[in-house]
Amino acid sequence: MTGAVPTTAEAAAIIERHTGGTVVHVERQLRWRPTWFVDVERDGEVLPMMLRGDRQDSQGFTLRDEYTFHRLMRSVSSRCRSCSATWSCPA
């Protein structure tokens, strides 16, 4: 995400738009990288997800860098959660 940090309601709308599901729970984690823990119901199944945004305090370790790191870790260990998608959100 670039620009302003979305509200929790905006974060839920982003998830619904990109998954085609319905957010049944969303919780913001307050930290340096905007993060929301989200449960999405789709096709009768509740899927736990995480929405993360770009750091607001620096550009040293971008969201793309983090995604690449997690994909690499997942490739060598099944104990790491997978990153299934990334997308950019307009400000």
- Looking at residue 17, which CATH number applies to its domain? 3.30.160
| Residue 72 DSSP SS3 | helix
Tell me 47's DSSP state. Answer: E
Place of tokens 């929790």: 8
CA distance 78 to 33: 25
- Cα–Cα nearest to 13, from 22, 5, 4: 22
pLDDT at 85: 52
Identify whether 83 is part of a domain: no
CA distance 79 to 76: 9
Which residue has better confidence, 15 or 83?
15
Q: What is the pLDDT of residues 11-50, one digit of tens each?
A: 899 899 989 999 999 999 887 778 899 999 999 999 998 8
Give the chain's mean pLDDT.
78
Identify whether 1 is part of a domain: no
Residue 60: give the domain boundaries: 8-76
CA angle, residues 40, 45, 50, in degrees to nearest 5: 30
Identify whether 39 is part of a domain: yes
Structural domain count, the chain: 1
pTM of the predicted protein model: 0.67
